[in-house]
């Protein structure tokens, strides 16, 4: 369980923070129902054992998004979160020629496992680039969170805190 774009949050009583536009490390939360607080928003959420989730706050509503697990150690897992006002976005190579993850609706996420590579990536609404990341080094066996807000696109390498 982690938070995205949340400078002050608690998940099941555990303090968790993520810089603006970034994803926190994952923290272990027991399965079942728990309280999630992000800023002034509070909600009861329910999670299953062995799954990965991200918690976001949009318009004062706390939302739970199921994350894809990085199961293929030979690939890098990219997950893009659309926390912008754009109805649908695509993650592509920065030149716009190659789609990586397509059709991510606002308040949702999309994932894809890719080969290890260094690449320029951008989030697009149609043909308009909304944010670009240059020289992104994607390493096999790692997972990456790309977060698009109305302020731009950020990248965080995913990690887990066990304490």
Distances from the Cα of 35 to the Cα of 9, 10, 79, angstroms: 11, 8, 25
pTM for this entry: 0.92
Contact 35, 15 (CB under 8 A): no
pLDDT tens string for the chain (163 positions)? 999 999 889 999 999 999 888 999 999 999 999 999 998 899 999 999 999 999 998 888 899 999 998 889 999 999 999 999 999 999 999 999 999 999 999 999 999 999 999 999 999 999 999 999 999 999 999 999 999 999 999 999 987 655 4
Query: For 76-160, which CATH class?
Result: mainly beta
**CATH 2.60.40 domain extents, the chain:** 76-160
């Amino acid at each position: 369980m982690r938070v995205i774009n949340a400078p002050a949050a608690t998940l099941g009583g555990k303090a968790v923070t993520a810089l603006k536009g970034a994803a926190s490390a994952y923290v272990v939360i027991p399965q079942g129902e728990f309280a999630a607080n992000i800023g002034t928003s509070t909600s009861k959420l329910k999670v299953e054992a062995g799954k990965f989730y991200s918690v976001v706050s949009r318009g004062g509503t706390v939302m739970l998004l199921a994350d894809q697990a990085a199961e293929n150690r030979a690939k890098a897992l990219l997950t893009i979160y659309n926390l912008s006002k754009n109805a649908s976005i695509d993650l592509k190579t920065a030149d716009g020629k190659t789609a990586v993850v397509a059709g991510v609706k606002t308040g949702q996420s999309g994932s894809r496992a890719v080969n290890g590579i260094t690449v320029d990536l951008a989030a697009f609404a149609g043909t308009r680039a909304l944010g670009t990341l240059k020289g992104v080094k994607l390493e096999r066996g790692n997972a990456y969170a790309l977060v698009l807000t109305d302020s731009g696109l950020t990248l965080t390498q995913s990690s887990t805190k066990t304490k």
